[in-house]
Structure 1
Amino acid sequence: MQTESESEDYVEQRRQWTQEQNRLKGQLLLHDDFPWKLSPPLSDPHQPLCLVGGVDLSFCKHDLTVGCGALVVLNINTMNVIYEDFAVTHLRMPYIPGFLAFRESPVLLALLEKLSRKHVDMYPQVLMVDGNGILHPRGFGLASHLGVLANIPTIGVAKNLYHVDGLCRQDLRMGHDITDASTPLVGNSGQVLGMALRSHPDCTKPIFVSVGHRISLGTAVSVVQKCCKYRIPEPVRQADIRSRKQIKVTSAVPSIRVTFDEHASP
């Protein structure tokens, strides 16, 4: 049971984080802002999209304050992972719904910063995030948060629908056939917050794609579709698989779990 002091701290934390989200949201770009194209013709001066990143975080089953962040980079033409890195850390921030970015973004930003220093030639042209972008109570989820702070085009890819602005899965089914290839997610405000996407012909469950930063919804959906071998686009899927594997290794050795801060793959 929360004490009065703890309750006041909780309210103050939410207030500060809301203020910071609103400040960062002022830098958000919801249109294409990059020099590449998905498949430019030979006569087009734009460079083709080649490097697509994915990030995810997995948690220790025995201690939910211990998490493993994973960053992978794939060649979009082959779907092969050409770079992977991990960071295992104690997450000091509490989880508060709607403020996931303040808990998870520091470790993911550190992985991106490390890649930019050591292997800039492998730095992703666009980053897929296991989470939401503008499909969020304040229009600024983890994908948007990472995109603004790292100044990289980002796409939010969620397995479950975030019920915001009047959106709910039941109404989505009533208004559209959710088994269609794609269904726009239009809130009560009239804003298109994302797309319910049946990403693979064999999948009946949609994923929910939203703009993170520096990309339009149409382009975001096209990139996601190009990366789907299964229901979850490969960059996010590989980040999830590899972070889970790494956290199991870390959890199996308690001494490493306590002292280990970062691991980089060769």
Structure 2
Amino acid sequence: MSAFPQEDLIKQWTSEQASLKQQLVEGDMEEWQRAPDFKGLERVGGVDLSFIKGDDTNACAQLVVLSFPELELIYEDTQMVTLSAPYIAGFLAFRETPCLLEALQRLQRTQPKLLPQVIFVDGNGLFHYREFGVACHLGVLSGLPCIGVAKNLLQVQGVTRSEEHMSQIGALKKGGDTFPLTAASGRVLGKALRSSDKSTKPIYVSVGHRISLDTAVRLTHACCRYRVPEPIRQADVRSREYLRTQFPSVDTCG
């Protein structure tokens, strides 16, 4: 793809992103979100894409739905997909969201009673170049509460892997401890969370849609058996296993 078409695409996507952002809802909108023990929450979803190593076009799109608080699998959807949109930094959602949204729509059509009440997305929400990452994109298009959970720090809006940042990580002493991800503007765009006592590497949680940051962090911690919340971990494990089974001679990557 030449520079000019990509520039046109960036303009188009920037405009679409800004339009979708107008529909973003920050804050707790459901009764279960306000309950201390999340009473009323029964189904949590997770989505992920896994790729064949060296192939950035064909991927395994995975949706899982787990019971809450047991975190047992009650539904899964596994599909090989071909991604037609190019990868452009800051616009990952335009590449990945369509197939994830299709998985949710299939579930809505076939078994609507199993539709998740909240979705964990392997990526960022408000913690993004223009405060509208993949978790926001999927949340707005699906209308469902979404939480972005990233394993690695996106160095954006003045948040960097500085000495101060590393010092803050060192101050996270136990599972549930957090510190804010504060943009240069002073706005808190997410939180770093030590998800378990055993894991010293934090995860980065941000609002996707229809949930507050504090609730998103609290629920993420409640869904962590290991470093990564179980809905995302299960989606990742199952998509990788599918690729290993279907393409045993090649490596996979998340």
Structure 2 length as normaliser, TM-score?
0.92
> Alignment partner of 2:57: what SS?
strand
Query: Which residue does 1:205 correspond to in 2?
Result: 201
The answer to whether the 8 A contact 1:132-1:212 is kept is: yes
Q: Distance in 1 between matches of 2:161 and 2:184?
A: 14
Query: 1:173, CA displacement in angstroms?
Result: 2.5
Q: Distance in 2 between matches of 1:224 and 1:162?
A: 18
Query: Does residue 225 of the first structure (1) align with residue 217 of the second (2)?
Result: no
Query: Which residue does 1:138 correspond to in 2?
Result: 130
Q: Distance in 1 between matches of 2:74 and 2:138?
A: 22
Query: Which residue does 1:98 correspond to in 2?
Result: 90
Q: Distance in 1 between matches of 2:144 and 2:203?
A: 22
Structural RMSD (CA): 1.9
**CA pair 176-63 structure 1, distance change in 2 beyond 3 A:** closer
**CA pair 38-57 structure 1, distance change in 2 beyond 3 A:** farther
Give the counterpart letter for 1:137 in structure 2: Y
Query: 1:79, CA displacement in angstroms?
Result: 1.2
Length, aligned pairs only:
246
> Alignment partner of 2:56: what SS?
strand
Where do 1:144-155 residues align within 5 Å? Answer: 144-155=136-147
Q: Distance in 2 between matches of 1:231 and 1:109?
A: 26
Query: Which residue does 1:69 correspond to in 2?
Result: 61
User: 2:210 is matched with which residue: 193, 209, 214?
Assistant: 214
The answer to whether the 8 A contact 1:179-1:205 is kept is: no
Deviations 1:24-45 (A, max 9, x none): 000001111124247568xxxx
Query: Does residue 85 of the first structure (1) align with residue 77 of the second (2)?
Result: yes
Query: Does residue 116 of the first structure (1) align with residue 108 of the second (2)?
Result: yes
The answer to whether the 8 A contact 2:223-2:230 is kept is: yes
Deviates more, 1:57-66 or 1:7-16: 57-66
Query: Does residue 237 of the first structure (1) align with residue 229 of the second (2)?
Result: no
The answer to whether the 8 A contact 1:179-1:206 is kept is: no
Structure 1 length as normaliser, TM-score?
0.88
**CA pair 47-225 structure 1, distance change in 2 beyond 3 A:** closer
User: 1:60 is matched with which residue: 48, 52, 58?
Assistant: 52
The answer to whether the 8 A contact 2:33-2:211 is kept is: no
Deviates more, 1:56-65 or 1:166-175: 166-175
User: 2:43 is matched with which residue: 46, 51, 54?
Assistant: 51
Query: Which residue does 2:157 correspond to in 1?
Result: 165
Runs of 4+ in 1 over 4 A off after TM superposition: 38-41
Taking only the aligned residue pairs, the percentage that are identical comes to 49
